[in-house]
């Protein structure tokens, strides 16, 4: 007579396969070019102005028209003679040349220098296995690890060797790479601890064993009618599976 294999035996076999597969997965902690991402650019771009940045706009030969301004929420600055000028997204040099062109209608030698005086706090988005996922505001130049610490630090379930960093190029195209924070924490490779830039997205994934534990909870503990001590019940009450 053929005996049916209990459903929880099937679940245990599936779990074993999941554990085996998890051991062989992973992303190499390097830049990840693909059809959706630009090749990672390690060299820093020239700073581009953002709302809330404070600037000195100096006219070298006409200092009476110099002014200290703040980039507004709409990305504009307002100068007494020429009015509103879009500043956000431009480098200080680009903005200076545009202001020179506008002042050229009024002045003979409108040599302009734009000097940033105060920068708006750097905003970074940190998610995944950290204490306080969300928006992190950094008031000084910081690294990936410092941003993670500002977000509440790493949880025990974090996968340290595959932390994902998403960044935009100056053309607003996405780049992605992974870094190995384990090597940073162990002092083996501080080069992995990249400086963060404004609007970076840092994602700390869940470790493989945590994924397995989540799978157990979702697909076994909450579905099948037995407790975590089911191994004892199986060994005591069930004999070997005989399938003639």
**207-227 per-position pLDDT tens digit:** 876 565 666 565 556 655 544
When mean pLDDT is compared over 1-10, 66-75, 113-122, 169-178, the highest value belongs to: 66-75
Q: 69 with 55: CB under 8 angstroms?
A: yes
Question: Residue 24's pLDDT band (boundaries 50, 70, 90)?
Answer: very low
Question: Residue 239's pLDDT band (boundaries 50, 70, 90)?
Answer: very low
Indicate if 125 and 205 belong to the same structural domain: yes
On the question of pLDDT at 28 being above 60, the answer is: no
pLDDT at 224: 54
Structural domain contains residue 70? yes
Residue 70's domain comprises 54-118
Indicate if 96 and 174 belong to the same structural domain: no
pLDDT at 243: 46
Residue finishing a domain among 118, 138, 170? 118
Structural domain contains residue 237? no
d(CA 179, CA 27): 10
On the question of pLDDT at 3 being above 80, the answer is: no
Structural domain contains residue 225? no
Q: What is the average pLDDT score of the chain?
A: 77
State mean pLDDT over 4-20: 42
Structural domain contains residue 8? no
Q: Tens digit of pLDDT for each residue in 151-190?
A: 999 999 999 998 999 998 877 788 999 999 999 998 888 8
Residue finishing a domain among 118, 138, 167? 118
Structural domain contains residue 14? no
Indicate if 128 and 36 belong to the same structural domain: yes
**Nearest Cα residue to 116 out of 97, 91, 79:** 91
Question: Residue 32's pLDDT band (boundaries 50, 70, 90)?
Answer: very low
Indicate if 35 and 85 belong to the same structural domain: no
For every residue of 129-169, DSSP letters joined together read: SBSS-EEEEESS--BHHHHHHHTT-B-TTB-GGGEEEEEE-
Structural domain contains residue 236? no
Indicate if 90 and 78 belong to the same structural domain: yes
Number of separate domains in the chain: 2
What's the CATH number where 171 sits? 3.10.560.10
Indicate if 147 and 33 belong to the same structural domain: yes
**Nearest Cα residue to 178 out of 153, 159, 156:** 159
Question: Residue 8's pLDDT band (boundaries 50, 70, 90)?
Answer: very low
> Which tokens is 86 given?
């879009």
Q: Tens digit of pLDDT for each residue in 51-99?
A: 889 999 999 999 999 999 999 999 999 998 899 999 998 999 999 999 9
Q: Tens digit of pLDDT for each residue in 133-153?
A: 999 998 777 899 999 999 999
> Which tokens is 193 given?
């601890």
Q: Cα dist. 24→20, 86, 91 in Å?
A: 7, 51, 46
């Amino acid at each position: 007579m053929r005996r049916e294999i209990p459903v929880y035996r099937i679940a245990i076999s599936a779990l074993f396969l999941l554990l085996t597969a998890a051991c062989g997965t992973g992303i190499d902690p390097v830049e990840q070019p693909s059809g959706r991402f630009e090749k990672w650019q390690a060299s820093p771009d020239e700073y581009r102005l953002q709302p809330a940045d404070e600037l000195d706009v100096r006219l070298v030969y006409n200092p009476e028209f110099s002014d200290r301004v703040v980039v507004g929420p709409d990305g504009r600055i307002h100068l007494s003679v020429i009015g509103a000028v879009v500043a956000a997204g431009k480098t200080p040099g680009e903005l200076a040349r545009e202001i020179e062109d506008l002042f050229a209608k009024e002045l003979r030698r409108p040599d302009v220098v734009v000097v940033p005086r105060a920068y708006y706090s750097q905003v970074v988005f940190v998610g995944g296995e950290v204490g306080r996922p969300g928006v992190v505001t950094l008031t000084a130049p910081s690294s990936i690890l410092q941003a993670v610490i500002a977000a509440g630090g790493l949880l025990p379930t974090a996968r340290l060797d595959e932390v994902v960093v998403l960044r935009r190029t100056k053309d607003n195209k996405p780049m992605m790479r992974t870094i190995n924070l384990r090597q940073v924490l162990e002092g083996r490779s501080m080069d992995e601890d990249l400086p963060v830039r404004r609007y970076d997205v840092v994602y700390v994934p869940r470790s493989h064993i945590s994924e397995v534990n989540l799978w157990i909870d979702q697909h076994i503990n909450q579905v099948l009618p037995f407790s975590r001590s089911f191994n004892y019940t199986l060994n005591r009450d069930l004999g070997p599976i005989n399938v003639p």
